[in-house]
Structure 1
Amino acid sequence: MNRLDRSRELALASTMHLHIDEKGTVGHYLEPPGSGLHHVFFLRVNGEVWVGRKRLQRDRHFRWHASSVLKPCMLLGPHLHSLWGDEGLSIGYRTASVEQKAQTFERALRLPDSEILFPFPIVDAAGREVVCPADFWQCSESLAEQLNNDEQHLREQCAGLLQAITETGALIYDPACSTGEFIAHLARALPDCLCLGSDRSASMIEHARQVHGSTSVEFRLLDASDAFDAGIHCDVLILRFLNAEVLTRREARTAFESLIRCVKPGGTLLVFGHTPVLIPVVWLAAAHNLQLESTVAARPGQMELFQFYRLKVATA
């Protein structure tokens, strides 16, 4: 996020009420052209679609930061229209109370058809999807700290789930392991499992081996697209890189369809990430005969939601 974008998002985080127009039972929000469009999201719950706008929020040190975690206050209301014009995206919605928004989040966690969707990618001035350049992934202490902090809630959610469903000796594979913190966290939480992390960035693998060399994780320098041909067959596949700013939508779908071949019959796939998931998971699950177990999650005791897809490969 550049300085201009961050300034706009900081202003919006504390002045959202000035940007919406609510008259009676119908409200209106205008998202102007520019980088903010990718923060608009839709929440499908029990056949009803709500619209919202993600905003910066405070971390535990009271600093503003971007997060995959959504809060009820980010919801606008049940969606009525989305119309694109020269002024930007015009969003109409039915107004809702604070209590109704919280109840919608609670229902989303309980009901199996719930889903969070971010339909608009981050694009540049020419309308192309924005992807971080290769040199962005050259590991440094500051980048490692940022990436690790951004995914703390995802590590905890993933470890808790796998502790409940994973058998002794299962192989857990993270094909874009980055700093290695995520797969090392799983190795500590599930000591009876085997953990493998790979990445195409040599500097990331070097960092992972140096920092997490005392864990049981095996780290390999390997492009995720080569995993199946390299003979990797896992019980759990962690897909946390099919996300905005990491790949384009087309690249993300190609990577998904390549990597699902690595999962053994009856195995589990988990799809999530700090930035929005790019692929249409529900549709791809149906297309590849994958059982969709869940789509959203929240930390225990927290009124929140984030994308967290759990899929299972058929046994036959």
Structure 2
Amino acid sequence: MNEATSRRHWRIDDPRSAHGYFLLRAGAYRWIGHVAPATRDEPRHACNVIRPHHLLGSDGVLYEHADAIEVSATHRRRQEAKAFMALVRRDPLAVIHFPIAPMRTWGHEFVCPPAFWARMAERAEDLAAGERHMRALCAATLRTELPDGALVRDPACSTGDFVVAMAHACPRLHFEGSDRAADMIRTARTRHPDGPVTFSLADAALVPPASCDALILRFLNAEVVTRAQADALFDRLVPSVRRGGLVVLFGHTPVLVDVHQGAARHGLRIQRSVAPTGTDGIVPYYVLRA
């Protein structure tokens, strides 16, 4: 059997290792891959980057069962994976989808407890190092896609570091940060007492309609909320963007929202769904126009 075209099949019985599988499509080509979850003792790696060595094969198929996941793909050589990734890097509308949410047991999604986020607030520098590439992408999008004076809102701002970084990178725009956790808002105000961002305690699900020109959504992601919560929050948040505005959607972990279906529901145009980073990688990075 030709090694370059042999079909591989495997089964995942442990729900804790089922997520991280993704389907990646560009043009007529469809590949499947797997990214291992970030380890807690390596926080400074570049989060969410997908590289050629993560690709498992072409014509990927993934079947979900009640107690297992079955995966199959056509094996391809390393150079073929690199060539496909180069194609994806040139296609801003390539489609990437993570079909399996993190689980501890089959059928029960895992979400990090509040104590985890409290610890993360103490590691803001580590988190910033891991998202440096995402800050550069987001700042470039806001600078080029929004008019002077536009209002940008981060409705789950956490420590405030990200939205403050955007404000410094885009001084002609206005920024607001909010969070429903009082501890996070206190942290944001303490870390940035005289910064260019206004912080407020607010529930992201209760934002008024047509009240901003852009949304930065960094929390509709695996391990942060469940898939159902992500979809519901997306539907509640998107109407807060004025016509012609932007929704920018990404995160440290895979986005749980089916962005193409969500965009269709709200009449949004997808300008970008992936972005190149580094010399050979991509990141899921959605830019939607209202």
1:84 Cα deviation after fit: 5.5
1:182 Cα deviation after fit: 0.7
- On the 8 A contact 2:43/2:126 being kept in 1, the answer is no
* Aligned position for 1:240: 218
Secondary structure at 1:197 match in 2: strand
Secondary structure at 1:77 match in 2: strand
- On the 8 A contact 2:23/2:31 being kept in 1, the answer is yes
2:284 alignment partner AA: Q
1:56 Cα deviation after fit: 6.3
Aligned pairs for 1:39-188 (under 5 A) are 39-55=20-36, 67-83=47-63, 88-125=68-105, 127-138=107-118, 142-188=122-168
Q: How many residues end up aligned between the 2 structures? A: 288
> Aligned to 1:268, which of 232, 243, 246?
246
- On the 8 A contact 1:184/1:217 being kept in 2, the answer is yes
1:52 Cα deviation after fit: 0.6
Relative distance call for 1:77 and 1:126 in structure 2 (3 A) is closer
Secondary structure at 1:305 match in 2: strand
Secondary structure at 2:103 match in 1: coil
> Aligned to 1:302, which of 279, 284, 288?
279
* Aligned position for 1:197: 177
> Aligned to 1:277, which of 248, 252, 255?
255
Q: CA RMSD in A?
A: 2.7
Identity of aligned residues (%): 35
- Higher relative contact order (CA closer than 8 Å, sequence separation 6+): 2
1:42 Cα deviation after fit: 0.8
Relative distance call for 1:226 and 1:311 in structure 2 (3 A) is same
Q: Matched residues in 2 for 1:69 and 1:249: separation?
A: 21
TM-score, normalised with respect to structure 1? 0.83
Relative distance call for 1:112 and 1:147 in structure 2 (3 A) is closer
Secondary structure at 2:69 match in 1: strand
Q: Matched residues in 2 for 1:37 and 1:216: separation?
A: 42
1:112 Cα deviation after fit: 4.8
Q: Which ranges of structure 1 fall in alignment gaps of 5 or more residues? A: 1-21
1:164 Cα deviation after fit: 1.6
> Is it true that 1:311 corresponds to 2:271 in the alignment?
no
Q: Which ranges of structure 2 fall in alignment gaps of 5 or more residues? A: none
Q: Matched residues in 1 for 2:237 and 2:206: separation?
A: 9
Secondary structure at 1:42 match in 2: strand
Relative distance call for 1:42 and 1:112 in structure 2 (3 A) is same
1:310 alignment partner AA: V
Moved more, 23-32 or 249-258: 23-32
- On the 8 A contact 2:275/2:284 being kept in 1, the answer is yes
Q: Which runs of 4+ in 1 moved over 6 A?
A: 61-64
2:252 alignment partner AA: H
Q: Matched residues in 2 for 1:232 and 1:218: separation?
A: 19
1:175 alignment partner AA: P
Relative distance call for 1:147 and 1:27 in structure 2 (3 A) is same
Q: Matched residues in 1 for 2:67 and 2:82: separation?
A: 31
1:218 alignment partner AA: T
> Aligned to 1:38, which of 19, 23, 39?
19
- Once the two structures are superposed, what CA deviation does each residue of 1:192-247 show, in whole Å capped at 9, x if it has no partner? 1101000011111111111122321001111101122xx77111110110001111
> Is it true that 1:26 corresponds to 2:6 in the alignment?
yes
Relative distance call for 1:139 and 1:210 in structure 2 (3 A) is farther
Relative distance call for 1:180 and 1:111 in structure 2 (3 A) is same
TM-score, normalised with respect to structure 2? 0.90
Moved more, 216-225 or 98-107: 98-107
